[in-house]
Structure 1
C-alpha cells in the first residue's frame, strides 16, 4: 500500500508542476512561457498525471489497503512507466496531441511508458478478480471497472483510424476506455466518501437502495462497448454516453451524497473537511456539465471540478491510511489545514475557468490574442490565483505525506 501511495505522491508532484506552469502561462499578469511548444507538452503531462496516473495509482493503494499486498511484478512496471511518461512530457520532442482523456506525446518513450503503466495496473486487477464478484459493492465494482477499462483498449485500437489526423485517432482509441475509467473513479470516490464518513462520524451506512444505486452504475456502463460497432465519436453515440453519465453516474452519486450528508456530524477534522470540500467541488463540476457546455474554458471548469472532487477525497483518506499504517502523521496540524487551502483554490480555479469560458475564452489555447474584454482578463487572473492556492494546498499534502512515509520507511516494507 505504501509503495503505491509513494507513486501517487510522485504523480501529484508531476501534475502540480505541469499545472503550475500552465496556470502561470495562462495568467496575463505572469505569462510565463514565451513559446507554445513546451506549453502543449506540459498540458499533456498535467492531464495525463492528474487524471490517469494519480487517480489510478491511488486506486491501487486503496485496493491494497482494503485487501492487502498481492504480487510483486506490478510495482516495477508501474514505476518505470511513470518515469518514462514524465520524461517524454518534459522533453521538447514529439508532437503533442490534445485529445480527451489521455492526451499523447507522439514519441516511443510516451507509448512505452503508457503501456508499462497499464500493464502494471492490469496485473493488479487480475490478482483481484476473485474480489470483483460482489457487484453491488463499490470495492468490487471498482475492480470490475478497472478490468473493463483495460480490456476495452485493444478493440478501441482496432476501430481507431488516422483519418482526420492523429488527434482523432487517439480520441477514438481512448474514448471508450476513458469513459469506463470515469465509472471506476466514481466507484472508488464513493467508497472513500463512506470511509471518511466512518472516520468523521463513526457511522457506516448500509441500505438496499445504495446497493441498487451501485448496480445502476454497472447497468449504465455496460452499453459502452456498443461504440465498437460504430464510430465512437459519432453524435448518436455521444448522446448515449451523455445519458449514461447523466443517469448512470448522476443518480447513484446523488443517492450516496444524500445518505452520507444525512449521517454526517460536523466537526473540525480531516475527514469532515475533506468530505465536504470533495462533495461541493464534485457537484459544482457536475452541475456545469448538466447546464450545457461549448468548446471553451467551461469544459476544463467541468472536469477540473469533478476530478478535483475525487482528488480531495483521496487526499483526505490518505491521511488516515498513513495514520493507521504508520501510527502517526508528520506535521499533523498542517494536514488538517490542507484540504481547506486545496478546496478553496480549486473552487476559484473552476470559477475563473467558467466565467472566462462563458465570455468566449477558448480551451487548450496558448497566448491571449482572444482576450477582448477586461472581464475575461479578470476571470483568467482569478483562475491563476486559484491555481496557485490549489498548488499550495497540494504542496502541503505532498509535504506531510512524504515526510510521514520517509520517517516510516525503515519500519515498513514497501513491497
Structure 2
C-alpha cells in the first residue's frame, strides 16, 4: 500500500487537504511497521530493527501523525502559541524529512510572553518541529519498550495502575509471611539525575547510530528536564525525556526480589513483590536483620550502570507501624490490632482543599459553574481514594467552608432570590460532598 499522501500545491486547497487526510489508513501503516519492529525485537534481530526504525522515521504517514499528536496537546495552546495554519502544517511535514540536521535547542518558555506575536509564532513553529521529531523517535522506540513499561505498571498514569500499586503494598503489609511486613526502605531518586553520563544512559536505547548520535547531542543540550519526569500530572510538551528516563529505571524495583506465592483476600494466588516503584518513588519491604548497606550498594551499582549519579539517593528506614506516604496515600499497620490500612495523606488532602478554595474564589465564573467544578474536583478525589479508609479523613471543614463562602456570595441577591438560592445551595452542597461507604476490593 502506498504510504505517501499527495497534495495539490494550490493554497486554496490546503484546508481541504488537511481535513481529508486518511488518518485511519496512516495509523494502520504505522502499526504494521511497529509490529514488524516488535517481532524483530522478540527475535533479537537488531540489524532488522535498525532498518525498520529508519523506515518508520522516514515514513510520511508517521510525520503526519506526529504533527497531529503534538497539535492535539493542550499544553501547546497554554503556551500562547497561535495554531498553525494548514499551509504551515504541510510545510512542517516537509521539514521533518531532514531529521539528520536536527539540533535540540533549549527554550525558556517564561521569556516568550515578552516577545511580539510574530516572534512567538516563529518560536512556536520551532518548538513544534522539535517535539514532532521527538515524537517520531518515540514511535520507533514504542514497539521495543512499551510492553515492558506496561508490564511494570509504572509508565501508565491512570487510576487502575495506582490502585494495583495500592493493593500490592497492602498485600505486603498484610502478608502472612511476617518478616516482610516490619520495615520499609523508602528511596527518593530525583537527585540521581543531576549528573548523567550520556554514553551509559544511551547504551540501553535501541536506535540506529545516526539517531542515537542526535539524541546524545540533544541530551547534552538539556533534553532531560527533571520537572518533566518528576512532577505528577505533568501536562507539558514533554515527549521523549520522561520516556528515556523510564526505560533506564526499568528493573530497579526488582533488586533482591523474592517471589513467593500465597493467597490473600481471595482464593487466587498472588505474588509478593518486595520492590515497588512509580517514577522516582521507590520502596522496598525488608526482612528483619537484612543488610541495608548491601541493598543500598546494589541500588547505587544499578544507577551507575545506567549512567546516573548513584551516590545521591535519599534513603529512609521506616517501621510499618509508623506509617509512610506513597502516591497520595498514607499506609500504616495498627500495632495493637496488627491490621493494615490506607487513607489519603495529609499532603494529598491539603492539595484537594486548596484546589476547591482556589476554584471557589475564581470570580471569572458564576457561582453555579464554580460549584460544578468543585463537584468534579471532589468526585475525582473520592474516585482516586475509593479503596481507602476515608473515615480517617475529616472533610467536614471544607464542606462547611464551601457552604459559608457560597452563602456570602448568595447574600448579594435580593431577599426573595436569596431564599430560593439558599435552598438550592444546601441541596447542591449535599450533592457535592455525598459520602459513600468505605470498601476494599482485591480485584
Which protein is bigger by CA-based radius of gyration? 2
The TM-score normalised by the length of structure 1 is 0.28
The TM-score normalised by the length of structure 2 is 0.26
Between structures 1 and 2, the one with greater helix share:
1
Between structures 1 and 2, the one with greater strand share:
2
Higher relative contact order (CA 8 A, sep 6+): 1
